Chain A
Amino acid sequence: MLSFVGKRLGQSAILILIMSALVFFGMYVISDPVAVLAGEDFTEEDRLALAAELGVDRPLIAQYITFLGNVIRGDFGISFVYNRPVLDLILERLPATLEVAFFAMFIGLVVGIPLGVYSGLNQKARSTKTISFTTTVGYSIPNFWQGVLLILLFSVWFKVLPASGRGDTVDIFGVGWSLFSLDGLSHLILPALNLAIYTICLQARLARSGTQEVMYQDYMTFARAKGISRNRIVRRHLVRNILIPIVTITGLQLGGLIAFATVTETVFSWPGIGKLLLDSIHSSDRPVVVAYLILITLMFVTINFIVDVLYALLDPRIRYT
Chain B
Amino acid sequence: MSSDVTNTDVETLDTVNTGEPTFSEKFWKVFRGHPGALAGLIGITIFVLLAIFAPLIAPQDPYDQAQLDILDGLLPPGSTLWDGTPSLLGTDALGRDILSAVLYGLRISLFVALVAVIVGSAIGVFMGLLAAMKGGWVETAIMRAVDLKMSFPGILLALMVLAVFGSGIDKVIIALIIGAWASEARLVRAVALSELKKEYIDAARLAGLSDWRIMGRFLFPNSISPVLVVLPMSISGAIGAEATLSFLGVGVPITEPSLGLLIANGNDYILSGKWWISLFPGLVLVAMVLCINMVADRLRDHANPYLRGKD
Contact = CB atoms under 8 A, between A and B. Distances in A.
A142 B289 contact: yes
Contacts of A148: 263, 267, 270, 278, 282
A256 interface: yes
A255 B153 contact: yes
A46 to B, nearest CB: 26
Interface residues of B, number: 44
Nearest to A151: B270
Interface stretch (B18-26, B52-60, B158-166): B158-166
Contacts of A256: 153
A206 to B, nearest CB: 13
Interface string B225-262: 00000000000100010011001111000000000100
B155 A260 contact: yes
B271 A142 contact: no
A143 B248 CA distance: 12
Contact of B151 (A23, A133, A141, A304): A304
Interface residues of A, number: 52
B212 interface: no
Contacts of B282: 145, 148-149
Contacts of A293: 160
B289 A123 contact: no
Nearest to B236: A140
Interface in A124-172: 124, 132-133, 136-137, 139-145, 148-149, 151-152, 155-156, 163
B1 interface: no
Contact of B163 (A133, A255, A281): A281
A213 interface: yes
A27 interface: yes
A131 B298 CA distance: 15
Interface string A66-101: 000000000000000000000000000000000000
A222 interface: no
B293 interface: yes
A143 B154 CA distance: 14
Closest 3 CB pairs of A and B: A26-B164, A259-B153, A259-B156
Interface of A: 15, 18-19, 23, 26-27, 29-30, 123-124, 132-133, 136-137, 139-145, 148-149, 151-152, 155-156, 163, 209, 212-213, 215-216, 255-256, 259-260, 262-263, 266-267, 277-278, 281-282, 289, 293, 296-297, 300-301, 304
